[in-house]
Each structure stands twice: as C-alpha cells, then as structure tokens.
Amino acid sequence: MSDFNNKVVWITGASSGIGRALAIAFSHAGAKCILSARNTSALEETQRMCTNPDKQVVLQLDVTDEQRVEYAVREVVDLGGVDILINNAGVSQRSTVEKTDMSVYRSLMEVNYFAVVKLTKTILPHMIKQGQGSIVTISSIAGKVGPPYRAGYAASKHALHGFFDSLRAETSHKGIRSLVVCPGYINTPIAHNALAGDGEKYNKRDAENANGLDANDLAQRILKAIKKKKTEVYFGKFEVNAVRLKRFLPGILTKMLSKKFLEDPEK
C-alpha cells in the first residue's frame, strides 16, 4: 500500500508546472488532493488529469489574500483537515537589480514568502492539534545561490530557508515535519510568468528551463523525499553543483556566475 493512500494533500499553485505534476503524482499514489490556485479553469484541467478526479477537490485561492487564506483553511479543516501541505505557489523574476522597480521586489516577497508564512501559520495549529502533519515548501537552488537576473526571487527563496529552519526546530517534537525542496531548472512555464523589471510578465522561454528536469520526474523525487522524512533536498541537473561550490569554492562560483551574466547582459 502506498504511503500516501487516503492522505489529504493540499497543493497551492496546482494549476500548472510543478504543482500540476505533484497533483498527478499524489493522486496516482492514492491521495486525495485539494488543488488551489487563482485560475479555476486551469485547476479543473489539473483535476481531470488526476487519477480518480472525482476524489480531488478544487479550491480557488489567491495566496496573497490573507482573509481568503483564513477562510480556505477553515474549509479544509471542515473537510477533515490536511496531512500534507505543499507550499508551491510562487512567481519568478527576470531583470537586473539596476533595472528592477522596488514594487517588483515587494510583489515577489508577498507571493513567495509572506503568503507561504501566512498559510503555514494558519494551518499549523490544526496540524498540531491532530498530532501530525507535513509541510513541504518549494524553494529553489536560487534559495541557496543567487544567480543573475533573479535577485528578488533569490531573496524571497532565501527567506523561506530561515523561516522553516526555525519552524522545524520549534515543531518537530509536536509531530510536524518540514521539508524544503530546492529545484534547479525545471521544464515549466515559470519564465513566461516571471516578472520583468517593470512588473510586467517576462513572457519568454528560458533555454535553461526548456532543457531542465521534467516536472513529472521532479514530482516523483519529491514524493520519495517526503517518504524518507528529508528536511532539505536539491533536485536538477548540473546546476545543483552550485550549492556545493558556494560552500567550498565560493570564489570560483562568483566567477562562473559573472561569466554567465557577461555572456548575456541584456536579458
């Protein structure tokens, strides 16, 4: 029997990309998924792609709307609670520091950090009350290493690591597990939906993401990491080596990132 059979898994950002792939993987493993994002029609498409679609629940949610988050948590608790929360909703960025409006940095922090903190804090008392729960947060390799064109994105993902390190220390003895997942380049629409320096959609496809790890492959790896009770994992191709380089050879990593930027200075 699957470790996830009849488990309730709440996935934010489930309308596409990693979130959709996770929904398909969890449903195939026997879980009941609560699928959240802003776009209801895209969520319904995800639902149709799942195993036993009638078992999956669509719950429209803008994670930056704190009042709506509180209402959504009450709905989920009334449905019987949740075993695994997947904090996946997020937005990326493609612009230099010099050319990025402060409003873009605030938007990135609202979606990628504060919204995650709010949903986590709101569901946490219910998980503690039931004596168990897993909180899985999708960060990024950029949450450990800041690459060019993604300063605000990297900062928002770095912040998640500090928050969940502290939360893990405070709640692991209460049966709460916290896993932070750091994907590298994944073949998803993330670049299309990224914010440019003026706050508009970047609306282009990055070669790195196009050649990246398949989202369904990533989803399977995440499920395995949850089963193994991991606390922090890195998935991707060659780019995951940046984490080790930063720790052991930071000077070399700086030169590599600078060279990458100079090869394409006008993103």
Q: State the catalytic residues.
A: 153
Residue type at position 55: K
Residue ranges of E strands in 112-267: 133-138, 176-183, 186-187, 213-214, 232-235
Q: Which long-range contacts (CB under 8 A, 24 or more apart) does 73-79 make?
A: 73/119, 73/122, 73/123, 73/126, 76/10, 76/34, 76/123, 77/126, 79/8, 79/34
Pairing of strands 213-214, 232-235: unpaired
For CA atoms 122, 128, 132, 136, the dihedral sign is positive
